[in-house]
Structure 1
């Protein structure tokens, strides 16, 4: 599952003292990894003018630039240096995220950084380093490592050329590429420290709203049909995982069961989840795009997925309340971000309480 193409790498936030928990080595890999990425980037027009650039890549870069302009003109997203350069990293992901959660909880372990605050994942530029860190975590935690095609520096690096387009996502289907760019740019509009669910749900709402507009107004009929098939499968898979998340949450929060009973019921839910996925996959004609996610599914992966879904219905309702005007919507979200965390979540809950409840319960 593309869970999420939008992680916030923390190399840009390395001002102040390093956290003792993370260590100097972690910060060093963050800085050198990000600098290497930035150094690999060249202006998009240079790639287009280069006779050695494959025609398919030229076409995708040109399309991405049209999406970049659309983001500014139609969605009110920032007009800055980001996504006007391209880099081929010679690997399959920009970073590799480690997420962890206890055996009887969907609450993610958090790691804290000087500027970005506390987030529910830890990113590495090397997959081997990510796997090594995952193995070092206590056995009491369920851990997942997953590839992330893109990340945002929240606009902090626009002075140095901004976040570049990458080989890790430039070949995505048109609808997915548009959504990813809109998601990442949304992180430059609003960022609430220490609130991953708020930040990612907001960016996910922007990607869905903006992606729908792009497909309706700019995409070809073939691109719309390709995306329709892709998104239909994704929505079916998300519906399944929402039910499972709700079942697990219900088990973990039941005070009448001891841990052994909770673990037994959890195992039953996970067995049923994989059985139900196999049935859906058969209806898809064997499409295997979610196999890797299902194979590693645990509390950590379900908890990470929730961060991108949980508040999306409320943000969508807020967009409607603001007359479907993106700039008014962003102002309203920034006002929420300025409130204490509990207050902003309560306000969002009042916008769409029924939908939000359904998103986390069976």
Structure 2
């Protein structure tokens, strides 16, 4: 899960009044205390930035760090030259913030709903989580929500984006990943700079997730690397499908009009079913080795399922749109931008149609009517 924070394009080092102004843009909380921790946390991050080229030229820089940063710069150049993503100073800087996560996001839902508690602010609009630079503050916020009978989920976030308003750095938190994952996240974050639609987290995250996956395929091909292990990608797809199916059953349960006692029992039964289905999938198709054992073993609730609907929901729709654009990135971005400008209801309907089309008739075949029943999935 990756936090999105938006700011005016002003250098903190030169404008001492900006921390408070930036805080007003960052928060979904009405307290100055919340705004203050956001401003302080972001200011500390900006002050820790160093140009990567200077670190690479410095003999004192650790050899392994040099290797990782050099690879990140190659990916950064590829993002702009091959994927036509924004060409700026973002991810050409490095910051060691000396902690394992840059922020901790708190997701929350009511007991019988999968609608997230939204937090709204200027520029970026409403998002489905609230971010904290301190794990203790995040835990405290989650505890207060639990006291009000909210389902909560707290997740640490390694990557950071200001949607291009500031020069976002590579963080030490990101270097714990494999090279491939680091490259993918650079592509993901720059996709948010390419296009962001206020108040539509699922649209934004699905778009960026598609860009990172397709970009990674092209990155590997350009470097003469073998395609990614399909087994790992297949596991992710199967696990995501499992969780989304569970979400859908819970949505139906909460809309059933049953008494709270019955819904509460049904909710726990659904989570037991999810665990059982996961165990069966792991034994049947993954040779007993599951990448998601830890996630599944921890407590389950509505809030924990939220990111799956946000990050994966419309990926097939964007894949279909990319195929319609014949793999031409500028054309693809133009079509996505046009889609983002549609009224929300019309945008959702178009995304659903594209997703349905991707399942029943790939866009590459849609130019030949005999291959498909209709061309309703196409977006010209």
Which residue among 62, 67, 75 is the counterpart of 2:83?
Answer: 75
Shift of the alpha carbon at 1:242?
Answer: 2.1
TM-score by length of 1: 0.87
In 1: Cα distance, 2:24 partner to 2:234 partner: 46
Cα pair distance change 1:320/1:286, threshold 3 Å: closer
What does the per-residue CA deviation read over 1:2-46, in whole Å, with 9 as the maximum and x for residues that have no partner?
A: xx2x22035668376897942111111111111111111111122
Cα pair distance change 1:314/1:45, threshold 3 Å: same
TM-score by length of 2: 0.83
Counterpart secondary structure, 1:112: strand
Shift of the alpha carbon at 1:281?
Answer: 5.1
Are 1:173 and 2:178 matched, yes or no?
A: yes
- Highest CA radius of gyration, 1 or 2? 2
> Conserved in 2, the CA contact under 8 Å of 1:98 and 1:130?
yes
Which residue among 142, 153, 158 is the counterpart of 2:162?
Answer: 153
> Conserved in 2, the CA contact under 8 Å of 1:116 and 1:193?
yes
Comparing 119-128 with 134-143, which one deviates more in the overlay?
Answer: 134-143
In 1: Cα distance, 2:240 partner to 2:123 partner: 32
Counterpart secondary structure, 1:207: helix
In 2: Cα distance, 1:277 partner to 1:207 partner: 26
Counterpart secondary structure, 1:188: helix
Shift of the alpha carbon at 1:279?
Answer: 4.5
Which residue among 337, 341, 345 is the counterpart of 2:340?
Answer: 337
Are 1:251 and 2:259 matched, yes or no?
A: no
| Alignment RMSD | 2.5
In 2: Cα distance, 1:60 partner to 1:21 partner: 37
1:268 corresponds in structure 2 to: 269
Are 1:61 and 2:69 matched, yes or no?
A: yes
Counterpart secondary structure, 1:155: coil
In 1: Cα distance, 2:153 partner to 2:136 partner: 13
In 1: Cα distance, 2:50 partner to 2:117 partner: 37
In 2: Cα distance, 1:18 partner to 1:309 partner: 25
Comparing 295-304 with 141-150, which one deviates more in the overlay?
Answer: 295-304
> Conserved in 2, the CA contact under 8 Å of 1:10 and 1:116?
yes
Structure 2, unaligned stretches of length 5 or more?
9-20, 361-380
What does the per-residue CA deviation read over 1:41-97, in whole Å, with 9 as the maximum and x for residues that have no partner?
A: 111122222333322221111111111111011111000010001111111111100
Cα pair distance change 1:77/1:284, threshold 3 Å: farther
In 2: Cα distance, 1:329 partner to 1:108 partner: 30
Higher relative contact order at CA 8 Å, sep ≥6: structure 1 or structure 2? 1
What does the per-residue CA deviation read over 1:271-305, in whole Å, with 9 as the maximum and x for residues that have no partner?
A: 12223334555645555555146514321121222
